[in-house]
Structure 1
Amino acid sequence: MNIIFIHQNFPGQYKNIAAFLSASPNNQVLAIGDRKNIHTQDPRLQYGLYGTPSPVHNDIHPWLAPLANHTQRGIAAARVLRTIKTKGFKPDLIFGHLGWGDCMFVKDEFPDVPFIGFLEFFYNAQGADCNFDPEFPSSSELSHNLRLKNATQLVSLPLMDSAISPTHWQAKQYPHFIREQINIIHEGINTTIIKPAEQPVSLQILSKGLQLTQDNEIVTFVNRNMEPYRGFHTFMRALPDFLQQRPNAHVLIVGGDNVSYGTPPKNAKTWREALLNEVGNQIDSSRVHFLGKIPYADYLKILQLSTVHVYLTYPFVLSWSMLEAMSAGCFVIGSNTGPVTEVIQDGINGWLTDFFDSQTLAKKMAHAIEYRRELQPLRQAARQTIIEKYDLHTRCLPQYIELINKTIKK
């Protein structure tokens, strides 16, 4: 079978399914994406890369600039599709992420080829990230702007023969007319690799001459970047009270200083700097460790060391890190927001907490450490949740294969 994946930052959400399909000698897999964003290439795949389209500088309304840039990206991807078509490559199936415009013209090049779209997030003025955080209110015109932010996806939605969204909550953000096409299939968690430690684990923090083991009290907080969308401000404000309640505890913070979502701070270079300016003099810096972006093996080790893992998010896209923490057997305190509540049941496989309440979060972190042994069943239940609902090999890949077969037969 000939299969095309389209993603400007390939592999993105297609990491697992693309690797699985390309492992079969009966499949020929082609990845189309932005040359700037694809730094490593899987030798089992073919690649069709386009150059990053130049930003639009014409005198247009700023709300239209993203759509114009996405259109350029769609044209660039279409040129790649046209080139492979002239070389005789005929796909049996095309996967594509609808968010950045790459798929806007896919059916113009291959009108008869089934297309499965990936639906990650549809913007809404109410009920999701917009105006969720009163500390960072949105402008009154944002709802107008959001309609245009959805324009790229709205152009591409009619092209789909089937659709995938990773959680029910994310799927429900999309318009009613498309929801029946959406299949809830997560990218999958490899629970055979991401699991509780079978041997003693330790971590050295050389800059502080410190070695931490599973005997230490360790709170972990992981995100791609430290920013309000992922609750970094609430977490940092919880630390003074928490560190006072647990004088021997250490805090491991993993993530970069860029902005993935939302906007940069106004009075500091990074959100880490902004929050340290606010609460830094109230915390013991010898016990709070900013580890930056780290190798994946070290990240897994940190999850295995964790006594309590905190995951906070606006109502937005669910991070893989929360599910990976649960798979590693972490005790997770998650925010009482969608789609976290789709996975964590309070008191059953973790705890939920109010996103904004830093004082309650501090108490819950301290309480979870105090009663860590009594909470062991919840750790086990967290891992079991991932095995039963999100396991890569027994749940998610079979769901993908079922959808592929169903879509091709339409």
Structure 2
Amino acid sequence: MNYLFVHQNFPGQYLHVLRRLAAERRHEIVFISLPNHNQIPGVRRIDYRPLRGPSPGIHRDATEFEAAMIRAQAVAETGQRLAAVGFQPDIMIGHNGWGELLNLKDVWPGVPLIPYFEFFYHDAGLDVGFDQEFPLSPEQRSQVRAKNAVNLLGLQLADRGQTPTAFQRNTYPAWARRKLALVPEGVDLAYCRPRWDVDFALPAIGRRWSRQGRRLVTYVARNLEPYRGIHVLLRAIPRILADRADVDVVVVGGDEVSYGPAPEHGTWRERLLAELGSAIDPDRVFFPGKLAYADYLTLLQVSSVHVYLTYPFVASWSLREALACGCALVASDTAPVREFVSDRETGRLVFFDKPAEVALAVLELLEDTDQADRLRRNARHWAETHLDLASHLTAFKQVTKAAHRACSSTRSQLPQ
């Protein structure tokens, strides 16, 4: 089968699918992406480059849509060059969010298209307005609604769509859900697994932790920002440090903004550290920035308690990987997390906006090691049951078959 994948950051959500399809050695796999250094054996990468930047003076609500259409044009022109040298996909698959797929049906009109639908934006009731500390200004509501322009075009073009969780599927309008197949994302359970024989080190400061040494509370996000609860975590840390002299904290993540607004000045980390002052002891609380993947997994494997917090938004891959590594989890009691974590079964669930509750749950698991060990075992068992990569690939292939059937049915209904 000839696969065409598209994602601006190769390989995106398709890492495990690509590896398994390539291992079958009977497919031609082409991937269109913006340039980066990632490679997967058996996958042919084709880079595209947007033809221009944004227009000056464009309406603020239309900036994302214009950027999406610029990407759509560049990807379609890349597809035309592929078609000119004889490449004919049997299926087209890609993330819908950046607009890259929107013109591909013009290049290959009879080929089934499966967009990845990540989130349908609402101006109230989900992530927007959830955190009362950062209210949405009235003029921002139209910007949130306008973010769905690409979503809606993608739903019109899709023969079938995929989404990884029931929470994400349910953010879409009822009329759209019939097109969206649930394809739960897995993790490499052989690589992401509990280990007791590893140490986590921060060589730059000469510190090292093991499961037999000082206790380690961990937190990981792509970037340290309110959507992932960095303000809640940092406000919980002083209580943890005060009650447990044997505990250190490692907070992993960058200082950029992935979701939501940026602070008026500096970074969220800088703003919060200025607020908390000496309550965050720099000899016990460490901010290593972003880690190499192997180091990040070692951190999870050494963790005594791992904290995961999020708005009602897309659940991170790090949550899945923490479960697979058998972490003792303290997590926010928000809808996307409840799909993965059951309170006192596979982790502890606490109110997102209550730093004191986060601190108490962490301290409870540090003290009650029997409970923590039970949650670790249950987390790993849940991961083995629900995050298996073979099941993920099976669900993925079922969606491709459904897309072929839907595309054939659509063609047969068109006027001749």
> Whole-Å Cα distance in 2 between the matches of residues 68 and 234 of structure 1?
35
Give the drift of 1:187: 2.7
After superposition, where does 1:101-180 map in structure 2 within 5 Å? 101-180=99-178
> Whole-Å Cα distance in 2 between the matches of residues 160 and 137 of structure 1?
34
The amino acid across from 1:169 in the alignment is F
Partner residue in 1 for 2:19: 19
Assess, with a 3 A threshold, how the Cα gap between structure 1 residues 83 and 206 changes in structure 2: closer, same or farther: closer
Per mean C-alpha deviation after superposition, the further-off stretch among 373-382 and 99-108 is 373-382
For residues 169-221 of structure 1, what are the alpha-carbon distances to aligned partners after superposition, in whole Å with 9 as ceiling and x for unaligned?
Answer: 01111121110121111231111110000x52222333443331102211110
The amino acid across from 1:136 in the alignment is F
The amino acid across from 1:373 in the alignment is D
Assess, with a 3 A threshold, how the Cα gap between structure 1 residues 156 and 327 changes in structure 2: closer, same or farther: same
Q: 1:306 aligns with which of 291, 300, 303?
A: 303
Q: 1:186 aligns with which of 166, 184, 187?
A: 184
> Whole-Å Cα distance in 2 between the matches of residues 9 and 335 of structure 1?
28
Q: Is 2:403 the partner of 1:402?
A: no
Partner residue in 2 for 1:95: 93
The amino acid across from 2:317 in the alignment is W
For residues 308-338 of structure 1, what are the alpha-carbon distances to aligned partners after superposition, in whole Å with 9 as ceiling and x for unaligned?
Answer: 0000001111100011011100011110112
Give the drift of 1:275: 1.1
What secondary structure, in the 3-state scheme, does the structure 1 residue paired with 2:153 have?
helix
After superposition, where does 1:3-402 map in structure 2 within 5 Å? 3-35=3-35, 38-197=36-195, 199-215=196-212, 216-267=214-265, 269-393=266-390, 395-402=391-398
What secondary structure, in the 3-state scheme, does the structure 1 residue paired with 2:253 have?
strand
Contact persistence 2:169–2:177 (CA under 8 A): yes
- TM-score, normalising length from structure 1? 0.95
For residues 144-163 of structure 1, what are the alpha-carbon distances to aligned partners after superposition, in whole Å with 9 as ceiling and x for unaligned?
Answer: 22221110121121111111
Give the drift of 1:344: 0.7
Give the drift of 1:270: 1.3
Per mean C-alpha deviation after superposition, the further-off stretch among 122-131 and 17-26 is 17-26
For residues 62-114 of structure 1, what are the alpha-carbon distances to aligned partners after superposition, in whole Å with 9 as ceiling and x for unaligned?
Answer: 21121111111101011111111121111111101110110111211111111
> Whole-Å Cα distance in 2 between the matches of residues 333 and 386 of structure 1?
16
Give the drift of 1:135: 1.1
What secondary structure, in the 3-state scheme, does the structure 1 residue paired with 2:371 have?
coil
> Whole-Å Cα distance in 1 between the matches of residues 68 and 257 of structure 2?
20
Give the drift of 1:408: 2.7
> Whole-Å Cα distance in 2 between the matches of residues 308 and 299 of structure 1?
15
Contact persistence 1:53–1:69 (CA under 8 A): no
Contact persistence 2:10–2:38 (CA under 8 A): no
The amino acid across from 2:61 in the alignment is W
Give the drift of 1:374: 3.0
Per mean C-alpha deviation after superposition, the further-off stretch among 19-28 and 218-227 is 19-28
Percent identity between the two aligned chains: 38
Contact persistence 2:365–2:371 (CA under 8 A): no
Give the drift of 1:404: 2.1
What secondary structure, in the 3-state scheme, does the structure 2 residue paired with 1:26 have?
coil
> Whole-Å Cα distance in 1 between the matches of residues 24 and 181 of structure 2?
24
Contact persistence 1:208–1:286 (CA under 8 A): no
Unaligned runs of 5+ in 1: none
RMSD, matched Cα: 1.4
The amino acid across from 1:22 in the alignment is A
> Whole-Å Cα distance in 1 between the matches of residues 295 and 372 of structure 2?
25
The amino acid across from 2:367 in the alignment is E
> Whole-Å Cα distance in 2 between the matches of residues 369 and 8 of structure 1?
41
Give the drift of 1:409: 4.0
> Whole-Å Cα distance in 2 between the matches of residues 261 and 158 of structure 1?
26
Unaligned runs of 5+ in 2: 407-416
- TM-score, normalising length from structure 2? 0.94
> Whole-Å Cα distance in 1 between the matches of residues 48 and 8 of structure 2?
9
Contact persistence 1:22–1:29 (CA under 8 A): yes
Pairs aligned (count): 405
Contact persistence 1:30–1:48 (CA under 8 A): yes
> Whole-Å Cα distance in 2 between the matches of residues 372 and 307 of structure 1?
9
Give the drift of 1:54: 2.4
